[in-house]
Structure 1
Amino acid sequence: MYRGYRHAVGPLGQDEPVTDHYPQDTLATRADDGTLTLEVTDRWNTPLGKPNGGWVLAAMLRAAMDTTDVGRPAVAAITYFASPEPGTTATLTVTPVKLGRRVQTVDVDLGCDGRPLARMTASFARDHHGPSQELGAAPALPDPATLPDPRELGMPTDGLFGRIEYRMAEVPGWATGEPTGDPTTTLWQRLDGGTAIDWPAVALLTDASPPPVMELGQMKSMTVQLTVHFHRLPEQGGWVASRFSTRHVAEGFHEEDGELWDDQGRLLAQSRQLAILL
C-alpha cells in the first residue's frame, strides 16, 4: 500500500495525542448477519493520505485468526488492488481453503461497496514443533534507549508516525535531501508506547517503515504484493530490530526484502514485497 514520504519531515496536519489505538484499529466487528466490517481510520495514514499496507495486512490476518480455528501464522501473502479510503467501512470475507492436521489455509478478502481492495492467503500451523537453526544475524544497532526519538525532533504524531516508534542510528540521507544511493535501512521499531507485539503486529512492522528505495531518490512507492514468513514472537515484546533492502529496480517496479529480529537476536519474520514507484 502507499508508503511514500517527504524529503523533510514537516507538519502533515494537526497532531493528536499519542494513544494506543492498535488493538481496536485492527479488530473487525461481526454484525448479526455474520458480516465482518472494519472501520478505516486515518490514524494509520502515510504522508500520502492513504492507510498503510502493513495495517491492512494486520487487520486481515487478525480477522482470519479470530474467526477460524487455526494455529499461529506461518506465511501470509497479500495482493493490494486499491487503497481503502479513511472514514469508510470495509467488509471482510474469511474463507477456509483447507483446514488440515498440520497446516490450515485461509483466504481473506477486503472490499468496500462492492469494490475489491485486497486479498490475503495465509497458512497457519497448529501444535507443530520441529528443529530450528539460525544462520543469519540481527542488524548491529545501538541500544534504542540511547537513540533520539524523531518525534521529538519535529516528526508529527498524526497518522502512522503516531502509531509506530522508530529509532535510527543515523539520520537517513533522504531525510536531509541527500539520498545515499544505498537502498538499505536498519532501525528499531515498536508499537507506540511498547504495546506487546502479537502476530498481526509482526505483519504490520514488515511494512511500516520508510522504504529503503528512498535512498535512491525515489520518494513515493506503493506496495503491490507482500509475503511474510512468520517464525516466532518476541519473548519480551518491545523493540524490534529491522533490516530492509532493495537490490533491483526494473521498469518502475522494485523488490524489498525485510527481516525482523527481537532484542535477543532471534528472528521473528522475513518479508518480500513487490512495489511500484509513483
Structure 2
Amino acid sequence: MMTAEHPFDRAIALHSETGAERTGHTSPDYWNAISPFGGTTAATMLQAMLEHPDRLGEPISLTVNFAGAIKPGNFRVQARPARTGRSTQHWLAQLHQGDDPAPAITATAVFALRRDTWSDTESAMPSHAGPEGLERYAPPMRLPFLERYDIRYVDSHPFAGGASSQTQCWIADVPPRPLDAAGIVAHCDAYIPRIFVRRGRPTPIATVTLTVNFHADAASLAERPCTLAFAQARANAFRGGFHDQEGRLWAEDGRLLATTHQMVWFKE
C-alpha cells in the first residue's frame, strides 16, 4: 500500500527515462551524516524492480551492495531480470551518478510466485510490553532520517555498552505508513549499528552489504495492514574492521515480516 504524499514514497520515487533506466533524486528527509540513509537507497533499488513491466511475482530476497558514496542530487537506476523461470525470477540492478562509469550501488534480488503449501514459523516474537510508556529514542546527534522513525527501545539504552550487542525496539514511520516490501527493507536498516552498542559510543561506520529475506507477501500486508513493527538485532563477531549484523522484524500482531543480515565496516 503506497501513500503518495508520504516522505518515504517521495524519497524512493523513480521516473522513466528509457525502458532500462529510471531516474531519482536523493531526499533531504532521509539524509544520514554524509550520504542518504541506506534503507531508502536499498528500497529504491527494490522499487525499480517492483515497477519494471517484466516483473514476475513478489520479492523473496534482496541483496544490496554499497560500493561507493552517493552525493546529493540525481541518480540513475538500471534494473533488469537476468533469468526468468516458471516460478522464480532473478534480478540485477545498478545505481549510477554523474559521469562515473562505476556503479555506486549494485543489487540482486529473487522474485517468486508464492504457493499455498504447508507453513510454519519457528521465529517467535519476544514477549514485551507495547511502545506506550517507552521513550522515543533520541540519538546523540540529530540526523534527518532518524526524524522519520519513531524508535522505542524495550531493553537497556542502546549506548550502554557491555558484553552483548543485542537490542530490541518498536519502530514506526513518521508520519505512520502501512508497511509494504519497500518499507520493510528500510526498517531492516534502521537498527543502531552493533559496534555502537558494544563500544557504548558512536564511531565511523558504513554498511557494505545488506540482505533482506521477506516472509510476508503483499496480500497478507494488505489484509492486515501494520504501521508498527518489533525489531531485534545482534552481531556475531567484530573482526578486522568489519562486523556482521543479523536482525528480525515482526508486525505488532506477531507475524514475522523479514529477516536481515549485514556486513558493516567500522573505524576505531
TM-score range, shorter-chain basis? 0.7 to 0.9
1:139 Cα shift? 2.6
Q: What's 1:121 paired with?
A: 108
1:127 Cα shift? 4.3
1-side partners of 2:155 and 2:46: how far apart?
33
Which of residues 80, 84, 94 in structure 1 aligns to 2:66?
A: 80
1:211 Cα shift? 1.5
Q: What's 1:130 paired with?
A: 117
In structure 1, give the amino acid aligned to 2:215: H
1:34 Cα shift? 5.9
The CA RMSD over aligned residues, in Å, is 2.1
In structure 2, give the amino acid aligned to 1:125: A
Q: Is this contact kept in 2: 1:42–1:50, CA < 8 A?
A: no
Q: What's 2:246 paired with?
A: 257
In structure 1, give the amino acid aligned to 2:133: T
Any residues of structure 2 matched to 1:114-263 within 5 Å, and which?
Answer: 114=100, 115-150=102-137, 156=142, 159-170=144-155, 172-174=157-159, 178-217=160-199, 219=202, 220-232=204-216, 234=221, 235-263=224-252
Q: Secondary structure at the match of 1:146?
A: coil
Q: Secondary structure at the match of 1:180?
A: coil
Task: Tell me if 1:42 matches 2:28.
Answer: yes
| 1:33–1:265 distance in 2 versus 1, CA, 3 Å | closer
2-side partners of 1:191 and 1:202: how far apart?
11
1-side partners of 2:140 and 2:6: how far apart?
20
Greater shift in the superposed pair: 24-33 or 73-82: 24-33
Which of residues 87, 91, 116 in structure 2 aligns to 1:106?
A: 91
1:273 Cα shift? 0.8
| 1:180–1:154 distance in 2 versus 1, CA, 3 Å | closer
TM-score (norm 1): 0.84
In structure 2, give the amino acid aligned to 1:172: H
1-side partners of 2:85 and 2:214: how far apart?
19
1:49 Cα shift? 2.5
1:147 Cα shift? 1.9
2-side partners of 1:191 and 1:65: how far apart?
21
Q: What's 2:266 paired with?
A: 277
In structure 2, give the amino acid aligned to 1:239: L
Q: Is this contact kept in 1: 2:20–2:78, CA < 8 A?
A: no
Residues 82-137 of structure 1 show CA distances to partners (whole Å, capped at 9, x for unaligned) of 12112x11110011111221101111111112341111100111243322111121
2-side partners of 1:131 and 1:221: how far apart?
41
Q: What's 2:57 paired with?
A: 71
Q: Is this contact kept in 2: 1:255–1:275, CA < 8 A?
A: yes
Q: Note the residue ranges of structure 1 that are not aligned, 5 or more in a row.
A: 1-18
Q: Is this contact kept in 2: 1:25–1:41, CA < 8 A?
A: yes
> Which of 1 and 2 has higher RCO (CA within 8 Å, sep 6+)?
1
Q: What's 2:47 paired with?
A: 62
2-side partners of 1:51 and 1:130: how far apart?
39
1-side partners of 2:245 and 2:83: how far apart?
30
Q: Percent identity?
A: 21
| 1:262–1:173 distance in 2 versus 1, CA, 3 Å | closer
1:154 Cα shift? 9.1
2-side partners of 1:274 and 1:91: how far apart?
25
Q: Secondary structure at the match of 1:195?
A: coil
| 1:160–1:248 distance in 2 versus 1, CA, 3 Å | same
| 1:155–1:129 distance in 2 versus 1, CA, 3 Å | farther
Matched residue pairs, number? 253
